Structure 1
Amino acid sequence: MPMHLPFTPNHIQLISACYPPNAALLTAGPDYRPNSQELSRMTYYASNKSGKINKLASELERRVKTDSRKAKGGNIRARASLLITLAIIKALAIECRRDLALLTGSLLASVSVTLSALSSDLEVAARAGSVFTAWTTYTDGHLIEVDQHVAQDYMSCLQIFSLMGRIETPDREVTSRTRLVGLAALTSVVTSEVLYNSTTQLKMQISTLIPALLIPLLDEDVIQLEQEAGKVKEQPTTAHMSEFRNRPAMERRAASIHIHVAGEDGPTSREVANAAIRALSHLFGHSNGGQAAISIQAAIDCFNDANTWDKTEHCSWVAVHAAEWTQYQYRYAIPTRLVECLMQDQDTSKNVSRPQALAAMITAVFNSPIPLVNLSTSDIISSLITVALRRTSKDPEDALLPAIVRSVSSLGTHVYYAEQIQDLAGELISRLVAVETTGLLAGVKCDNNKTRVQAIRCLLAGLLGLIHSAEVHDVTDAEGQKSGPSSPVLGRSADYGTAEHKAGAKAPRRRNVAPDVWQDTVSLLCDSDYSVRADYSATLVSYFEREIPKLWDVTDTDGVKRIRPLAEEPVQQANVHYAVLHGDNTTRLLNSIHAHLYVLATSSNLGFPSVNTAPSSRHSVNGDIAPSTVVTDESNTQDLTDPLPQIRRSLAIPRTRKLSVMQRLLQHVPSKLSASTPASATLSDYGNILAVLTTVFTRLPVRGLLTGVPMLLALNSTIQVEESDVVTPRIAAVRELLASSWTTLAKVWECPELLDVISKGTPSGVENKLPLLSTLEAGEFGPQQNFVPLPVGPETVSVEKAYALLDQEALMLAIVSNKTIQDATGMDRQGLLRKFSASWSAESAFREAIDATSTNADLCRADALAPLVKVPPAFMHIDNLSRASLARSTRGVGVTDLREALEGRSSLSNPNLRETAGSISTFDHTSATHGDALKLTPVRSRTSQRGKIGGPGDVKDVLNKLGIGKTNGVGMLRPSFAMKKSEQRSTSTVVPPYKT
């Protein structure tokens, strides 16, 4: 024990006694521990006299600074003394944990000085890390916010440990050892309250430590990282980490950091990766939504600084597991922040690797089975669409577009409410319609038409991928093969017909995309660009296969599709009959599709009318300044002078404008196709038309029959040309299209008579020449499709090699005489004959689809009030004194008024409370189901003012207002929500059944 001067302070004597004699300092290794008995005396002294802790800490800090300076110069005796001093500080911090704030300043200063001088000495760095870990175990972090010197020393320690965690040296073993020491200290931070308590220092702390947690992961393969993540998941915490937050701070245990023993097998890089994954999992696991967003932003900044965006798999792995480690209710913050970062890079044209990696990370998170509750999918898809359109306007061949399409498609795997996929599809369709009609403001070096075409194709690819991923998700979830995001099981909508589900089958979790939502896109069938028409045809076929339910199940147990009789249940039978005879949303969609297919097959000019552009201040759908539309056709100026407003989720073409566009297309449709009629459709278009019709007739046999047969008959009548010896390639293609379509109908309905009629017009030995519809890979954005053109010039097809004209009357008689068709539709031969012999045109079919949609919407809004009539209006009254105090009539007569009248109370002080509100009548609305048959008698609204209640007549007055008593003509209660009408009130008097 060293000798002391007579007047040496007691705290210095206690500290000096903990050291071995100077001659024994060099032999104190390898542990370099203080004298245990003297250390206990010193810690006992400090714990019982908290006022002396500051003196003890100041003396220890002075010794650390002196020994660090000497040890850095090579003094091995000072190095040994430094190791012992650090051990004393750690013991003092553990024993005086209740008064740790008094020790914090000197402790952090000592660790910072030590690491700054001797960070390359692993033994010293490990001892300093143990002191730092002891402090993080018991501190609450409050001093970081209030003491600037403490905050600076703390951040200095954090930066040095972070550098150690990602250090690179020529010796792989030394690198792994140093990284493990740094990661151990950083792990103590992410499991400490110091990281989460200081809100002002949170972002700086996370930005400092994140690189040390990510750089070691980039050196390993993704497969190895997945294995290490599995180990961490099996044992998420170590022995000392399990104390965090499970016990009070005073009962926790501080961990010690040990270095690897020289001579043994060194730590591997997988052990380092395991330590980094463990720290990352704790960081995201203890974070809320805002903290998780800061962490993933720091990870993105780390990838950016390290220029590791080319390692897309590693970036995606980090994003997926960050979402998995984050608490259930905060996971939405991960993809949301990724999308925000992608939005920031929407104008980046030089470095494409960063936005591509971000898009891949977004897709990986959405494709993972991790539930992401509270995720605003609508905002996500809106942002992704904005990025896609923005980059398309800058460069139609942008390499980022396929990645964005995959991100949009991956949103379909997360279904948390029944209308979600329909809402997302509606968002895509609204942008699709806007781009179709107004286009995009292209860059200086870009073609406007090319940017418009690429934007439409990009949105179509996203729409197809969204529906496909949602459909696959439903199937896997119903079969129990994949555990997707957990949410209640939701049934499909029955708006489009009644579909019988197989017994024991699990109900899907979402509703289909409604036909009335999809109907806005049908005009793309007649787009001026073939690649748009081809992509839309493939998308339309996929939509019918995945989203349109049948009226009933037509697949038997042997896998053969057969038309079954109607359901035996009266309600289902009535619903099917109503849908067949009067039509539904799907029928209206089919009418619109057949109208556009007819135009495509016969028109000489396709696409929207050409418009000139001029600068304008209106913003386009891609965020740029959009050109104003100048109409070249003065006859329809009123339809196009009002540009479409940019309204999110509700941007759709007005019905009048749709009809105007159809009328312009019909201007180029001839009544008869002849050799001199120019053709705008290609041979591939006729193949696409055949593919769409085949899908409609196969997937929707009844509704496809009732809406498709009139169109086929009308198309057949257009090729009844007089030149029987001259058949142009276009007429030959139409004849082949008709023959193949009728053949499909004959096979679906098992109608041999129809096949006989078709066989008479089919030449022997002639193969089908119509190209097949090119299939699109769901969720992928590929190059534009090429088409097979029709032969041009004076070329004709010989009669022997062309399909002959089909007998119109024979076709119709074969259809209406088929027993299966009669049973399925519930119509007899005469009814079918009247149905199919009626005059059909593209304009009438399209107008029926548009007008039926408008009428149905109005009737639905009218019938929405019908249930209110069943409830006595007097009992629907809600008192709202604060609102009634306003100087307007806001309150109706209710039970409270009757009670006050019976009790003889006078009116309230405010005369405005005695006024009755104007009523809204629902009796004069037409029923959407029964039409005018059940239209109720109109009731005039009654507006009166309550007089002051002062006698028996007041009771009678209130009862009259409640509608209790006999009325002239109508003996029912008059609703309190009857609409105010401009005409005068009826002069008929009310005769109550009582006398005053």
Structure 2
Amino acid sequence: MIHLPFSPNHLKNLITACYPPNAALLNSAPEYRPNAQELSRLTYYAANRPGKINKLGGELEKRIKLECKKAQANNIRSRASLLISLSIMKALASECRRDISLLTPSLLAAVDAALASSSDLEVVARVASLFKAFTTFTDGRLIGVDQSVTKDYLSILEKFAKMSTAGSRSQDLEYRNRTRLVGLAALTGAVTSEALYSSTTFRHQVSHIVSALLINVQEVEIAVLENESVSLKQKPMSPYLEEFRTRPPVERRAASIHLHVDGDRGPTVTDVSNACLRALSSLFDHSNGAQVPYAVQAALNSLDERDGWNKLEHCRWIAAKMTEWTQYQYRYAVPTRLVERLQEDQDMPVTTPLHSALAAMITTVFTSPTPLVNLSTSDIISNLITILLRRVAIDPLDMLISELTECIASLGTHVYYADQIHDLAGELISRLVSVELNGIPGHDNDGCRAQALRSLLAGLVGLIRAPERHDALKEHGSPRLGIDSPKVANAVPKTSGTPIAEQPVRISIEPAETPTRVPNRAKVAPETWQDTLNLLCDGNYLVRADYTSSLVFYLESQISRRGEYTDEDGVRRLRSLSAGPMQNAGNVMAMLYGDESTRFLHAMHVYLYVLATSGSLGASSSFLSRSALAEEATIPGTEDRDSPTRSQHGRPSLSLPIRSRKQSVVQQLLARIPACLSSSTLPLATASDYRNITVALTTMHEHLPVRGLLAGVPFLLALEKFTEVDGVEDAGLHARMLIIREVVSRVWLVLGKVWDCVELVAIATQALEVLPVSQLQPLGELNTLGIHGVGEQPVSVESVETGRRWSGVDSSAALAALTENKNVLEATAMDSETLYTRLSAPWSAESALKNSVEPQASYDALRGDGISPRMKLAPALMHIENMSLQSLARSTRGVGVTDLRDALEGRSSMSNPALVNKAPSISTLEHTGASEVQPFHRLAPTRSRPDTRKLNGNPSEVRDMLNKLRIGKPNGSGNLLKASFPSIQRSEPRSSTLIPPYKS
């Protein structure tokens, strides 16, 4: 019986004709290919009749499912027929790529059934090849829309993912690697398909894919992963896989998946890892900003499921590579999601490997050379600080605290705008001040507060040092001199040293795989750092010691040193040739009359004086609240100041109420300091504190010699005067007197060496040689920031028996030698007598505290126009002309149309009270004369005035206003605009009306 071409069995006949005869079915091994001629007829028929594709797919689906059941029962013929059916389905998908959506339901159902029923590796490889053909040509629109298609597709991905990790305990490494390579090849097809990125099921798909890939990554050594990751850049997988987003489906070609040939050397772990890394890198490379967080979350979920947090090095490597493989503009999503994941588990009572691994991953991402853009560093550092304080509240000795400190510090590695470090440091300082004032919310334990302050200080210093340290490690392979260097860590007294030269970090944004730099990176302003000086007098010694190290670092590397020049030998000399005369004059004026650095030094000396002399240190939160209410109104210059203060960069530092609270605390401490040493009020400072005071003063004089000279010498004289006690009989009092005088003497010695003053060096050296006993000998290293725990224990001041009195350095002789020094006179631009008068002026902590606050300008935009009340009252009280008032009451407002209108209407003089030269008077033009007899001398009725406004302005004022508006012919020079007003004719002296020159 001959079947008609369009009979119902025609499609079945076309498919059946593609198979070899039953007798020759087994002989088609090992390729198991369909008849080429009949297959070509079938594909031609389907390509020209798209309406028949769905029926063809359904018929092939039935055959494949039936053959899978028979093959599962060890039917050899059914197995051969199954392999051929899969080849037919692949050819049909390749030739009908334009209408692949019509074949999708049957194809995915057949693939899912074949994977579920067959464990034959050859069959699975043929199924993977069919699946990869589908992922190559599909647009993925049905996935996520059609429920059955979505279910089959996700089921297929899950099965291939399991295959990619199969045989973990298998002894046959070759078979295990073959199986994994087949699964990874199928997953690679899914990763490089539009079905992943265009579908709404991206999150579900990527959870299966990433989990399988990361399992293989964690089973390989880091060295192997590094080698294979390098080969990814050198040997791309395929132009079709790398450009699949740009090539249209009709130009794509599906790659075939073949098994390894028996007898040859089997695939190795390196081959598996290579395939895995290619798929993983392609996934992150093609994900957009909304998809990258899902991919990162899938990686974190995989680590959770497999307990991969214990492999710390692998976690760090994965984090770095995820960031590197992600597109340049979306890389910020990786560290952001890591921080969010860490924040989710911040309340766990005990630190787990998850916390440590996440912290290490975050630090790795920030310290890696991979550039990051669009990263919200403010949000990141705020979240990290919150997590840090939470862990401190749970356990002050938590191991995660130090790791979180490193995370905060690592944020400073990537700097993309000039004020970035300044902004981040301001955020840290604001939280530092908050913890200092209020402690940890809900915890009254002083240990929690101290640990939080120490951690924030370590993060602050590490944040500032991060850019320069990163550049130093890259260029020189060794860190620069910093807070943990021997120069700072070794105990003082130190008498000489070479100041660190200011070398601004230059960083620029470039989409390259190299560390970027930004030119002229702004340093932390002294006004911002000044808010932390209270920590010098904190009640906890570990906080004071850590802060001294931070302060030394700040003085060495951050504070502005405008006009401060030192030679290689550490001697301060004037640079008259390298800088111009105007620049030198400006620098000298800034140092003599005070700038922000000078104000900072004044404040620092106040707190050092309190630390050296006060019998009480630190204050509780309740004390701060009470003192703020009681003393805020008494602070000089704090009246009517409710707006936040701003630093030199225009960013808010601390609100004035908070700063007022801090100053009120200082005033409370200063009020308790006696005029001189006494047995009843001995200072609480330890020998370690006096050593730290010497560290800070020495660093200041070495790096800020001129400002340190002007601000520090009066302080030394006052500190020495504090020790002038007659008839010292108490051993403890004698010890305090000796140690304070030793601090003063060693600072005098530093001054002599900094200024190359031989006479002062000789005086100080001679005095120190006869010192009865020194308690400022090296006491070990200062606390290393970032290392938390017990820390250095303070050494108390030991009692010294009252014996031979030691007066220290003769301050009069030292001051005379210093003021006669040539270097000092050149640097300060003063004569010896003037300099002596200034340096010997009485110093008090109260005056220094007042000088540490920037004087407020009289101009207040909210309450007035900048004119003092005296200036406003003067015109009304004085009936004489005072032209000097016009120059004093200047307005900074620009000239506009309103000023021109006022001039035309004659109201320009009334807009400025200082220009009114007469008291208000009543016009008598319309009043009756005094000679006329009128009852009660009432005013005569006036005529109603017209509504039209006349121009009665003064011509000279109008001309001046037009000149200010640059309308007219200035100075007789040519201009495109002619003079708006002609010369005023004097023939009509009585008329003051000015006719506008503008004509319609």
Same fold? TM cut 0.5: yes
Paired residue type of 1:730: R
Query: What corresponds to 2:874 in structure 1?
Result: none
Query: What corresponds to 1:190 in structure 2?
Result: 191
Q: Is the contact between residue 108 and residue 152 of structure 2 (CA under 8 Å) also seen in structure 1?
A: yes
Sort the Cα spacing of 1:522 and 1:723 in 2 relative to 1 into closer, same or farther, 3 A. same
**Quick one: distance in 2 between partners of 1:386 and 1:281?**
33
TM-superposed deviation, 1:835: 1.1
Q: Is the contact between residue 505 and residue 521 of structure 2 (CA under 8 Å) also seen in structure 1?
A: no
Sort the Cα spacing of 1:324 and 1:509 in 2 relative to 1 into closer, same or farther, 3 A. farther
TM-superposed deviation, 1:317: 0.9
Query: What corresponds to 1:385 in structure 2?
Result: 385
State yes or no: 1:841 paired with 2:844: yes
State yes or no: 1:259 paired with 2:281: no
Query: What corresponds to 1:34 in structure 2?
Result: 34
Sort the Cα spacing of 1:260 and 1:349 in 2 relative to 1 into closer, same or farther, 3 A. farther
**Quick one: distance in 2 between partners of 1:732 and 1:429?**
36
Query: What corresponds to 2:222 in structure 1?
Result: 222
Q: 1:780 aligns with which of 777, 780, 786?
A: 786
Paired residue type of 2:445: N
Query: What corresponds to 2:157 in structure 1?
Result: 158
SS in 1 for 2:408: helix
Sort the Cα spacing of 1:787 and 1:237 in 2 relative to 1 into closer, same or farther, 3 A. same
**Quick one: distance in 1 between partners of 2:41 and 2:621?**
95
**Quick one: distance in 2 between partners of 1:463 and 1:456?**
10
Sort the Cα spacing of 1:502 and 1:349 in 2 relative to 1 into closer, same or farther, 3 A. closer
State yes or no: 1:830 paired with 2:833: yes
Query: What corresponds to 2:177 in structure 1?
Result: 176
TM-superposed deviation, 1:421: 0.2
Query: What corresponds to 1:485 in structure 2?
Result: none
Deviations 1:183-238, CA, capped at 9 Å, x for gaps: 1111111111110111x311111111111111000011112211110001222332
Sort the Cα spacing of 1:963 and 1:917 in 2 relative to 1 into closer, same or farther, 3 A. closer
State yes or no: 1:965 paired with 2:959: yes
Q: Is the contact between residue 141 and residue 193 of structure 1 (CA under 8 Å) also seen in structure 2?
A: yes
Q: Is the contact between residue 158 and residue 208 of structure 1 (CA under 8 Å) also seen in structure 2?
A: yes
Any unmatched runs of 5+ in structure 1?
483-498, 613-628, 878-891, 902-914, 925-935, 941-950, 975-988
Query: What corresponds to 2:136 in structure 1?
Result: 137
TM-superposed deviation, 1:123: 0.8
Q: Is the contact between residue 859 and residue 866 of structure 2 (CA under 8 Å) also seen in structure 1?
A: no
State yes or no: 1:677 paired with 2:689: no
Alignment of 1:622-641 (within 5 A): 631=626
Deviations 1:509-563, CA, capped at 9 Å, x for gaps: 411100000000001000000000000000110111111242346354x665442
Q: What value does the CA root-mean-square deviation take over the aligned residues?
A: 4.2
State yes or no: 1:707 paired with 2:711: yes
TM-superposed deviation, 1:636: 5.0
Which structure has the larger Rg?
2
What's the TM-score once normalised by structure 2's chain length?
0.81
Q: 2:595 aligns with which of 578, 584, 587?
A: 584
Deviations 1:25-65, CA, capped at 9 Å, x for gaps: 22211111111111111111111111111111111000000
Query: What corresponds to 1:563 in structure 2?
Result: 573
Paired residue type of 1:525: L
Q: Is the contact between residue 442 and residue 448 of structure 1 (CA under 8 Å) also seen in structure 2?
A: no
Sort the Cα spacing of 1:233 and 1:28 in 2 relative to 1 into closer, same or farther, 3 A. same
Deviations 1:82-135, CA, capped at 9 Å, x for gaps: 1110000000000010111110010000000000111x3211111001100000
Sort the Cα spacing of 1:183 and 1:651 in 2 relative to 1 into closer, same or farther, 3 A. farther
Any unmatched runs of 5+ in structure 2?
480-500, 508-516, 636-641, 646-650, 868-887, 919-945, 967-989
Sort the Cα spacing of 1:813 and 1:380 in 2 relative to 1 into closer, same or farther, 3 A. same
**Quick one: distance in 2 between partners of 1:961 and 1:94?**
90
**Quick one: distance in 2 between partners of 1:635 and 1:456?**
27
**Quick one: distance in 1 between partners of 2:954 and 2:237?**
75
Q: Is the contact between residue 716 and residue 806 of structure 1 (CA under 8 Å) also seen in structure 2?
A: no
Alignment of 1:534-683 (within 5 A): 534-552=545-563, 554-556=565-567, 561-566=571-576, 568-609=579-620, 611=622, 631=626, 652=655, 654-683=658-687
Sort the Cα spacing of 1:995 and 1:401 in 2 relative to 1 into closer, same or farther, 3 A. closer
**Quick one: distance in 2 between partners of 1:920 and 1:335?**
62
**Quick one: distance in 2 between partners of 1:78 and 1:918?**
106
**Quick one: distance in 1 between partners of 2:827 and 2:916?**
40
Aligned length: 879
Sort the Cα spacing of 1:771 and 1:513 in 2 relative to 1 into closer, same or farther, 3 A. farther
Query: What corresponds to 1:805 in structure 2?
Result: 808
Q: Is the contact between residue 963 and residue 973 of structure 1 (CA under 8 Å) also seen in structure 2?
A: no
TM-superposed deviation, 1:160: 0.5
**Quick one: distance in 2 between partners of 1:563 and 1:872?**
45
**Quick one: distance in 1 between partners of 2:142 and 2:505?**
66
Paired residue type of 1:532: V
Sort the Cα spacing of 1:803 and 1:267 in 2 relative to 1 into closer, same or farther, 3 A. farther
SS in 2 for 1:415: coil
Query: What corresponds to 1:149 in structure 2?
Result: 148
**Quick one: distance in 2 between partners of 1:675 and 1:698?**
35
Q: Is the contact between residue 157 and residue 209 of structure 2 (CA under 8 Å) also seen in structure 1?
A: yes
Query: What corresponds to 2:487 in structure 1?
Result: none
Query: What corresponds to 1:338 in structure 2?
Result: 338
State yes or no: 1:796 paired with 2:796: no
Paired residue type of 1:162: A
Deviations 1:376-398, CA, capped at 9 Å, x for gaps: 11111010000001111111111
TM-superposed deviation, 1:768: 4.6
Query: What corresponds to 1:321 in structure 2?
Result: 321
SS in 2 for 1:536: helix
Alignment of 1:401-480 (within 5 A): 401-442=401-442, 448-473=445-470
Query: What corresponds to 1:248 in structure 2?
Result: 248
Deviations 1:634-689, CA, capped at 9 Å, x for gaps: 9559899xxx9999975556332122101111133121113443231110000000
Q: Is the contact between residue 176 and residue 272 of structure 1 (CA under 8 Å) also seen in structure 2?
A: yes
Query: What corresponds to 1:100 in structure 2?
Result: 100
TM-superposed deviation, 1:76: 1.6
Query: What corresponds to 2:737 in structure 1?
Result: 731
Query: What corresponds to 2:754 in structure 1?
Result: 748
**Quick one: distance in 2 between partners of 1:45 and 1:767?**
108
Worse-matched range after superposition: 655-664 or 36-45: 655-664
**Quick one: distance in 2 between partners of 1:787 and 1:553?**
36
Sort the Cα spacing of 1:920 and 1:53 in 2 relative to 1 into closer, same or farther, 3 A. farther
**Quick one: distance in 1 between partners of 2:318 and 2:866?**
50
**Quick one: distance in 2 between partners of 1:990 and 1:562?**
72
Q: Is the contact between residue 739 and residue 774 of structure 2 (CA under 8 Å) also seen in structure 1?
A: no
State yes or no: 1:515 paired with 2:544: no
TM-superposed deviation, 1:827: 1.4
**Quick one: distance in 1 between partners of 2:462 and 2:240?**
48
**Quick one: distance in 1 between partners of 2:433 and 2:272?**
53
Alignment of 1:58-77 (within 5 A): 58-77=58-77
Q: Is the contact between residue 184 and residue 276 of structure 2 (CA under 8 Å) also seen in structure 1?
A: yes
**Quick one: distance in 2 between partners of 1:476 and 1:918?**
66
Query: What corresponds to 1:946 in structure 2?
Result: none
Sort the Cα spacing of 1:144 and 1:565 in 2 relative to 1 into closer, same or farther, 3 A. closer
**Quick one: distance in 2 between partners of 1:99 and 1:127?**
22
TM-superposed deviation, 1:242: 3.6
**Quick one: distance in 1 between partners of 2:866 and 2:153?**
65
Sort the Cα spacing of 1:961 and 1:955 in 2 relative to 1 into closer, same or farther, 3 A. farther
SS in 1 for 2:959: coil
Paired residue type of 1:226: E
**Quick one: distance in 2 between partners of 1:916 and 1:163?**
91
SS in 2 for 1:761: helix
Paired residue type of 2:526: P
TM-superposed deviation, 1:811: 2.2
